[in-house]
Chain A
Amino acid sequence: MKSGTVEATTAELMAVVMARGFRDGEVVVMGAVPALPLAACRLARALHAPALAYIVGGSGAVNPEPDALPASSCDLALARAPSVLPLTEVVLLEGRGDVLDVFCAGGLQIDAHGNCNLVSVGDWARPALRGPGTVGLPFLPAVRRSVIFTMTHDPRTFVERVDFVSGPGHPAGPTEDRPYRREGPTMVITPFASLDFEPESRRMRLVSTHPGIHEEEVRRATGFELAPGPVAETEPPSQEELAALRRVDPTGVLRR
């Protein structure tokens, strides 16, 4: 897609959209395969959220600025950080909840209410697809809010109801009593679109389609009925955003 004379890749656009959603002062936690959310955090810090902090998965590294975006959350380059929390202590803070603001999550399946599934597709006992496992996704409702992102937007990923709830989303309805839940998932970012949740029904709804993507394509790629609402076009990355993003991604991990 065009932004002046420079083309942004889909991953770059998604990182820019994610960065815009971070507010100054938030503390963000991410898990495995951290390149995209890590880039988004650094971009947000460079532009509108200088006091944002981020923790990179299993490494426990806080605000690392590696020369290249790492593919792995345990990459040794992440040790170049102003602080490192042992993972056991990240777990403590995730449970405590009130010091962490945003959890970046994903899943093999993501459903209409933002539940994520990293465990199994089909019957749990004899799954059609065994996923890797849930890792820290149960903490999603403990932190203030979550941002869901995925590189796969198709009807097998976006399902009405996940086969296994491994990362809790919004309650399915007003009668479902769920204690201590806070904002829940606030944003979903895919290669096609940016989505959120309708406050009454708590169902996912389309906010904006990325440049060049038709609304109908998004609905076809989604295995459930999205809640109604006005749909905009995603603002393409500005020159400033793209230049700042490429400073934190000099080797082009998000351009592959």
Chain B
Amino acid sequence: MELGPAVERWIPPGSFVAVGGMHMTAAPMSLVRELVRREVHIHRLLTSPSASLQADLLIGAGLVSEIVSPYVGFEHLGLAPCFRRAVEGGELRVLECDEGSITHALHAGAGGLPFIPCPPGVDLTDIPAMNPELYARAMDPFTGEEGWAVRALRPDVMLLACHEADEDGNVTLDRFPFTDRVMALASKRLLVQVERVVQTAQIAVRSPGMSIPGFLVSAVVVTPGGCHPTASPGGYEADEGWLREYLQVARDPEAFGEYLARTVVDVPEAAYLELVASRRAAADGATR
């Protein structure tokens, strides 16, 4: 499916959107950029246990009302400028959470459980008390002991980046899976961006147990290089030069606005991917 129609059809304004990829690897940036171009409002954004640009860009564009994420940052490169500014300015509602609880909450969502007890440790933090919407006290019916539980997470739609898909929408997850698989299973709809389309027989053979069946996939878009500037396993590394420039520019709201117009809003995805391909070719040439 084409990128624009896929986003328009499957991500209505005001949705609960989940976005995959961890740190600066396998972020579905083509889908994220298209949300920015179309100014699609996201009521609630859920991320993997560690998000970077896939959250910061949407927040910077002013599209996100509230976020469920245990981490938004750029690891060794620094803090997330738009996330920081929005939270410190009181413009973004944070549903504070931790990696363990949301991972279990996704399992609950995927398996049809209404809630699930929290793993040990969370009860000794300040997190559950800050987030009554996701955490509540519950009694263990077997021991009578009280502890925290977390509400199941069932996003309306998940955005996922994978390497390959076939014509029937079967998708490989032939990489570090992070929490992307359980997030896909918990979400009501699944939009996948891939590097390329391959023949059916190749997929299950290459990654048994690590593929996602087509019946869970709402649409596949083919955007080679589309994880840029994050990494695509089996394809390309993260573009750290680009990310460093982003972190510099995004500190200033005005400069960020210009950056967004110059690199996303005024540039159709096909043109963006061409630009990235030529940038990569130039970099490859320079290292040879």
Contact = CB atoms under 8 A, between A and B. Distances in A.
A1 interface: no
A130 B71 contact: no
A130 B82 CA distance: 11
A166 B80 contact: no
A73 B23 contact: yes
Contact of B87 (A118, A130, A139, A165): A130
B125 A71 contact: no
B119 A84 contact: no
Interface stretch (A87-95, A203-211, A242-250): A87-95
Given A58-B49, A95-B119, A133 B72 contact: yes
Interface stretch (B2-10, B199-207, B230-238, B264-272): B230-238
Q: Which one of A86, A120, A140, A167 has the greatest number of beta carbons of chain B within 10 Å?
A: A86
Contacts of B34: none
Interface in A204-253: none
B50 A134 contact: no
A137 interface: yes
B176 A87 contact: yes
A138 B124 contact: yes
Given A139-B119, A165-B124, A168-B121, A130 B84 contact: yes
Contacts of A124: 96, 126, 130
Interface size class of A (residues with CB under 8 A): 35 or more
Interface stretch (B97-105, B136-144, B187-195, B249-257): B97-105
Nearest to A118: B71
Contacts, number: 167
Given A60-B176, A141-B124, A126 B49 contact: no
Contacts of B23: 32, 58, 72-74
Given A87-B22, A91-B100, A168-B121, A72 B71 contact: no
B181 A135 contact: no
A250 to B, nearest CB: 19
A166 B125 contact: yes
Contact of B181 (A88, A167, A168): A88
Nearest to A77: B237
Where chain A touches its partner, the secondary structure class is loop
Q: Which one of B83, B99, B175 has the greatest number of beta carbons of chain A within 10 Å?
A: B99
Contacts of A73: 23, 75
A97 B103 CA distance: 16
B98 A136 contact: yes
Contact of B76 (A33, A88, A178, A180): A33
B125 A165 contact: yes
Contact of B100 (A75, A84, A138, A168): A138
Contacts of B84: 129-130
B245 interface: no
A119 B97 CA distance: 10
Contacts of A168: 121, 124-125
Contact of B121 (A71, A127, A139): A139
A181 B120 CA distance: 10
Contacts of B127: 119, 134, 138, 166
A86 B100 contact: no
Interface of B: 22-25, 48-50, 69-73, 75-76, 79-80, 83-84, 87-88, 90, 96, 98-101, 103-104, 107, 119-122, 124-127, 130, 175-179, 181-182, 231, 233, 237-238
6 shortest A-B CB distances, which residue pairs? A95-B119, A132-B73, A168-B124, A133-B71, A138-B121, A130-B87
Given A97-B120, A140-B121, 20 more contacts: A32-B71, A32-B73, A60-B176, A71-B76, A73-B75, A74-B231, A76-B25, A87-B22, A87-B176, A87-B179, A91-B103, A94-B100, A94-B119, A132-B83, A138-B100, A138-B122, A141-B121, A142-B119, A167-B125, A178-B124
13 contacts: A32-B76, A58-B50, A60-B176, A72-B24, A86-B181, A88-B103, A124-B130, A133-B72, A140-B121, A141-B124, A142-B121, A165-B125, A167-B125
Interface of A: 32-33, 35, 58-61, 71-76, 78-79, 84, 86-88, 91, 94-95, 97, 118-120, 124-142, 164-168, 178, 180-181
